[in-house]
Amino acid sequence: MAAQNGKDLLIKLDMTGDGQFQTVAGLRATRISFNAESVDVTSLESSGGWRELLGGAGVKSATISGSGVFKDEATDERARQIFFNGEVPDFQVIIPDFGTVAGAFQLTSIEYAGSYNGEATYELSMASAGALVFTPV
């Protein structure tokens, strides 16, 4: 795989629940992280005292984060609405030349910041809230 532009890693939000996804505007930096808990099954009989893990037994999760500047009133308002209403809408993460990860996420954090001589910025953090689907390119 050749090098990719970071700006092509997109976070998209289902704005109305009808499956029409829109890119969350103004993001400058985006990240998706996949996690799987391990289940330790080491015992006195473990070969050489090495730890043993039970494959496929841990809880899987994903987190999405992004930061940027205010560019679009609709996606900014939707993010606030999701947080304050406790909604768990569908998101998509477009990973360039790799595929799309889609599923429900809870908006766990919104941070707003600004300096006197700079732009207003925001940061979002989301946690997976169910099974995710990966669709390769």
User: Does a structural domain hold residue 78?
Assistant: yes
DSSP 44: T
Q: How many domains does the chain have?
A: 1
Instruction: List CB contacts of 57: < 8 A, sequence separation 6 or more.
Output: 39
Residue 95 lies in a domain: yes
Q: What is the pTM of this model?
A: 0.85
Domain-located, residue 57: no
47 within some domain? no
Is residue 103, in this structure, part of any structural domain at all? yes
Is 58 inside a domain boundary?
no
- Reported as a single tens digit per residue, the pLDDT across 45-56 is 999 989 999 998
- 121: domain CATH number is 2.40.10
Residue 100's DSSP bridge partners are: 94, 135
Does residue 34 have a pLDDT over 70? yes
Residue 12 maps to a domain: yes
Residue type (1 letter), 95 = I
Confidence bin at 17 (pLDDT 50/70/90): confident
Give the Cα separation of 63 and 122 in Å (integer). Answer: 17
CA distances (Å), origin 133, targets 5, 100, 103, 115: 23, 8, 6, 39
Domain region containing 31: 6-35+63-136
